Amino acid sequence: MNQTLMEIKERALSQINASETLDALNEIRVNFLGKKGELTSVLKSMKDVAPEDRPKVGQLVNEARESLEEALESKKAAFGKVLREAKMKAETIDVTLPAKKPMLGHRHPNTIALEEAERIFVGMGYEVVEGPEVEYDYYNFEALNIPANHPAKDEQDTFYVTSNILLRTQTSPVQVHVMEQGKLPIRMIAPGRVFRSDEVDATHSPSFHQIEGLVIDKNITFADLKGTLAEFAKQLFGEETKVKFRPHHFPFTEPSAEVDVSCFKCGGKGCRFCKGSGWIEILGCGMVHPRVLEMSGIDPEEYTGFAFGVGLERIALLKYEIDDMRLLYENDMRFLKQF
């Protein structure tokens, strides 16, 4: 029995000294001192020892247990010391090192273009008005002189929530809400996100942004529209910028036009950027249709007005010479850091 106890003790101490982790140390404790451990098994076999030898054997077993427990605790303490030292070393702060430079965010190119457009129009006396992105069919189409059978109302172009509610395809509904309030005169722009069922490519997206403007007052003429857009183009693209109006058709304006600006890269001489024409299409506009005024409770015999709309992404693509609209939304830091 004495020989067995000595062998168990020496084997346990050898394993304790060789252990390198707390998990290994716990496993040794279970193997030797646990309920089914080797030293515990010796205690259970005390019934087979002669009565006169039991006190001596019991004392040897207890001494072996105490010895192993002391070795285990000592090793555990050593592990703890190593861990604490490693933690302190990892958490050490060298106050002589230079501070880490924090990464600062900056404005998105869309935001830069929007703020510049707002600055220009606010400087001309316009008010910035926002409205809901989920809109009634009436405000998005009917109040803008777009009848029920108009192609723009087809579901392939518009995201319908119900038969009467949709995601706005333009920010013109904001203009209708303002006109219905009857507070004249009106000088406003309505920037915001719009939605159309378009395939994603270099120039199209199902979600993009528009800036639409509206002026309603007495004696407003097409000349006022031309002067406003000419001033906008000059402030946005440079003092030498010229504008050209081409006849077009929009249901909510009459007469209507599309507006080109002289290429700000080549000064109108023709280059790769303007595809050799010297002109770049930028927006659509026109005089507010009398029926649109009537539906909003404004007398077209007394008041006239003009409206225009430009894509915010269109401004950003032109101003910063970006050839793919998808770059604005892909969150590529290599691209965004350029602004």
Q: What is the pLDDT of residue 44?
A: 64
Q: Establish if 33 belongs to a structural domain.
A: yes
pTM (2 decimals)?
0.67
How sure is the predictor about 204, in pLDDT bands with cuts at 50, 70 and 90?
A: confident
Q: Establish if 98 belongs to a structural domain.
A: no
Q: What is the pLDDT of residue 284?
A: 94
Do 133 and 260 reside in the same domain of the chain? Answer: yes
132 CB-side CA count, 13 A:
11
Q: What is the pLDDT of residue 181?
A: 93
Do 43 and 123 reside in the same domain of the chain? Answer: no
Q: Establish if 307 belongs to a structural domain.
A: yes
Do 143 and 21 reside in the same domain of the chain? Answer: no
CATH number at residue 138: 3.30.930.10
Do 25 and 153 reside in the same domain of the chain? Answer: no
Q: What is the pLDDT of residue 1?
A: 58
Q: Which pairs with CB-CB distance under 8 Å and at least 24 residues apart come from 74-81?
A: 75/16, 75/17, 75/19, 75/25, 76/22, 76/25, 79/21, 79/22, 79/25
How sure is the predictor about 173, in pLDDT bands with cuts at 50, 70 and 90?
A: very high
How sure is the predictor about 176, in pLDDT bands with cuts at 50, 70 and 90?
A: very high
- Domain end among 40, 60, 90: 90
Per-residue pLDDT reduced to its tens digit, 219-261: 999 999 999 999 999 999 888 888 999 999 999 999 999 999 8
Do 44 and 119 reside in the same domain of the chain? Answer: no
Find out whether 115 is annotated in a ligand binding site. Answer: no
Task: Indicate the average pLDDT of the chain.
Answer: 84
Q: What is the pLDDT of residue 233?
A: 92
Does pLDDT of 175 surpass 90? Answer: yes
Per-residue pLDDT reduced to its tens digit, 299-325: 999 999 999 999 999 888 888 888 888
Does pLDDT of 339 surpass 90? Answer: no
Please tell me which residue, 153 or 97, carries the higher pLDDT value: 97
What domain range is 76 assigned to? 2-90
Do 60 and 123 reside in the same domain of the chain? Answer: no
- Domain end among 60, 90, 120: 90
Do 113 and 180 reside in the same domain of the chain? Answer: yes
Please tell me which residue, 203 or 192, carries the higher pLDDT value: 192
Per-residue pLDDT reduced to its tens digit, 260-284: 988 877 777 888 777 888 898 899 9
Question: Residue 88: left if φ>0, alpha if ψ -120 to 50, beta else—which one?
Answer: alpha
Lowest mean pLDDT among 2-16, 122-136, 191-205, 265-279: 2-16
Overall average pLDDT of the 330-335 stretch: 86
Q: Establish if 19 belongs to a structural domain.
A: yes
Do 217 and 316 reside in the same domain of the chain? Answer: yes
Q: What is the pLDDT of residue 156?
A: 62
Domain total for the chain? 2
* Highest-pLDDT range among 79-88, 130-139, 148-157: 130-139
Interior/surface letters 283-306, b for 16+ CB within 10 angstroms, e for the rest: bbbbbbbbebbebbebeeeebbbb
Q: Establish if 239 belongs to a structural domain.
A: yes
Do 165 and 290 reside in the same domain of the chain? Answer: yes
